[in-house]
Structure 1
Amino acid sequence: MYAKEAINLIVENLPRAVADRDNKKAQENMSLASTLAGIANAQAGTVAGHAMAVALGGYLGIPHGIAVGLFLPHVLNLNGLTCPDKIAQITKMFGENVERINDLVKKCVEACHTFIKNTGLPVYLDKKIHENEIIKIAEDAFTKPAMRNNPAQLKLDDVVAIITNICLKM
């Protein structure tokens, strides 16, 4: 319940809050969304995207929210087949029509990616990271409790591939 309301508030208000920093209502709604997301986090925990965001953010000094946004479409893609009902709800919150289950995960990932991009947030990092550093970041992510809370069981190779995908590798 808290997570759903937070997502709805974010989808509705983040673009307005970013476009017009004087939009007090959008700013207030984003504060409420943050609070609700925090409650959901405290009740249910987080998943792999947060674990990877903590590891990458700590390594590169990236703000946590930016790092989570970088990983979100990738984690939705990996978790999509494990929890299709939740992915369908998220896809609908992005305003997408979900008629065919086969298109569900793809639509959700595309809608999330487009939303992040249209908000002006990065979808990729313009950072060059050596492959051995990517592996260290991925290994660090696996030390975080959120990795064990993830619906899909991820392997180190999955996390390395995601980090490689969002970073420019040397």
Structure 2
Amino acid sequence: MTDTSINLYQVSCVRIGADILTKCASDCAAAGAKQVMIITSSPIAALAAPLSQALDARKIDNLVYSGPEGEPTRADLLQALAAATDFNADFVIGLGGGSAMDLAKLVAALHQSPQSFEDVVGIDLLADRTLPLACIPTTAGTGSEVTPIAIIEDEEAELKKGVVSRHLVPDFAYLDAKLTCSMPRKVTASTGLDALTHCIEAYANRFSHPVVDRWALDGIRLIAENLERACEEPNDLAAREGMLMASHLGGMCLGPVNTAAVHALAYPLGGEFHIPHGVANSLLLPHVIRFNTELEAGRYAQVAYALGVEPTGDARADAHAGVAEIERLSSVVGIDRRLSDVGISSNALPKMAAAAMTVQRLLKNNPREVTEADALAIYEAAL
């Protein structure tokens, strides 16, 4: 019998519902917190106000720390750690998209720790987390509120670097669809495609797992049913909650199985060209699927069915129909379709291909081996 044992990383407490945000204050109080640091970003800092007020009502000191608007760098992490030390934080909350939550995870892990960020880059190198942690997503894409992963941009290497550790899984997660209603259409679209990529890459994966498969396919179905409506009707709470649940399911996939070539090839787009993560993934997703379908049509056919494609009995044809549906969905929600649309020229592609090859922790998960020549060909197809 095949060994299918994996680590199913779980948040201890997940609370779901409209206005569940303020419940975090009572959980902080129950945990004995006295100095709570809320890490967010300036465009959405106002969303932290109800939580800050609820903490005030319980006489818990709190600091709303506005981190970077984009993806955090090593310098941003050092600044946030210094702020946590100055404030004497004893509990950390990440409120925002993946960037804010990833920054919060690393602050909670590295606050007054003998380890530095450089010490913990990679898998299972983090010794412990020093502070309790809660995460509250305001986008529906990364699923960071449930993952054992945090990503930071290395400015010098012009590449994103990941920390993977069970110690990064938050103690509490809060899924409040109302917090996602203020997302601009473009962010709704790009984060939704990010969640779709998580689910697809976890399902069509060299290390796929039957439990994770169910999460992934359910997440794909939810995105197919809700993303367009969430973009067209931003205050539709049912659509917003559907996307938030899809993102959460995608995040649950990332600990035990993780992503593969799409994410590895997307890293140089973020590190060098500062393309938003969800956009980078969506630009590459169809081309990586076409590359992988040459070897693994069956799994991609199942992806297509979850997207709403009617089966024809020809797995390869159905898999390609799924790619066409992804491209249609990207187009209708307004996502850029080509690397050239975001300012990347053919001259940049060889360097990007070489950089992508350094992300072996993800490339090893891909159903088909990706060489540097393959990576370059995929970028060329996406140009």
Please indicate, yes or no, whether the TM-score normalized by the shorter chain is above 0.5.
yes
User: Where does structure 2 lack aligned partners over 5 or more consecutive residues?
Assistant: 1-213
Partner in structure 2 of residue 142 of structure 1: 357
Cα distance in 2 for residues equivalent to 1:37 and 1:85: 20
Are 1:154 and 2:370 matched, yes or no? yes
Instruction: State, as a whole percentage, how many aligned pairs show the same letter.
Output: 32
What is the CA distance between 1:165 and its match in structure 2?
2.9
User: Which of 158, 164, 167 lines up with 2:380 in the alignment?
Assistant: 164
1:22-79 per-residue CA deviation (whole Å, 9 max, x = no partner) reads 1111111111111110111111111100111122122111111111111111111111
Supply the RMSD in Å over aligned alpha carbons. Answer: 1.6
Equivalent pair of 1:13/1:26 in contact (CA under 8 Å): yes
What is the CA distance between 1:127 and its match in structure 2?
3.7
Equivalent pair of 2:260/2:363 in contact (CA under 8 Å): yes
Partner in structure 2 of residue 68 of structure 1: 281
Cα distance in 2 for residues equivalent to 1:70 and 1:115: 12
Equivalent pair of 1:13/1:29 in contact (CA under 8 Å): yes
Cα distance in 2 for residues equivalent to 1:19 and 1:113: 18
Are 1:115 and 2:329 matched, yes or no? yes
Correspondence 1:14-93 to 2 at 5 A:
14-93=227-306
User: Which of 344, 356, 362 lines up with 1:129 in the alignment?
Assistant: 344
Q: Secondary structure in 1 aligned to 2:366?
A: coil
What is the CA distance between 1:94 and its match in structure 2?
1.9
Cα distance in 1 for residues equivalent to 2:338 and 2:356: 18
Shift of the 35–115 alpha-carbon distance from structure 1 to 2, 3 Å rule, reads same
Shift of the 134–11 alpha-carbon distance from structure 1 to 2, 3 Å rule, reads same
Equivalent pair of 2:298/2:316 in contact (CA under 8 Å): no
What is the CA distance between 1:86 and its match in structure 2?
1.3
More helix by share: 1
Cα distance in 2 for residues equivalent to 1:86 and 1:102: 10
What is the CA distance between 1:85 and its match in structure 2?
2.3
Cα distance in 1 for residues equivalent to 2:240 and 2:261: 28
- Which has more radius of gyration? 2
Equivalent pair of 2:269/2:280 in contact (CA under 8 Å): yes
Equivalent pair of 2:264/2:356 in contact (CA under 8 Å): yes
What is the CA distance between 1:133 and its match in structure 2?
2.1
Q: Which runs of 4+ in 1 moved over 6 A?
A: none
Equivalent pair of 1:76/1:108 in contact (CA under 8 Å): no
TM-score, normalised to structure 2's length? 0.42
Shift of the 96–49 alpha-carbon distance from structure 1 to 2, 3 Å rule, reads same
1:112-137 per-residue CA deviation (whole Å, 9 max, x = no partner) reads 11121122212113144344421111
Q: Secondary structure in 1 aligned to 2:311?
A: coil
Equivalent pair of 2:297/2:316 in contact (CA under 8 Å): no
Query: 2:368 corresponds to which letter in structure 1?
Result: A
Cα distance in 2 for residues equivalent to 1:73 and 1:26: 24
Cα distance in 2 for residues equivalent to 1:14 and 1:60: 26
Equivalent pair of 2:298/2:315 in contact (CA under 8 Å): no
Cα distance in 1 for residues equivalent to 2:283 and 2:316: 24
Cα distance in 2 for residues equivalent to 1:165 and 1:127: 15
TM-score, normalised to structure 1's length? 0.90
User: Where does structure 1 lack aligned partners over 5 or more consecutive residues?
Assistant: none
Partner in structure 1 of residue 315 of structure 2: 101
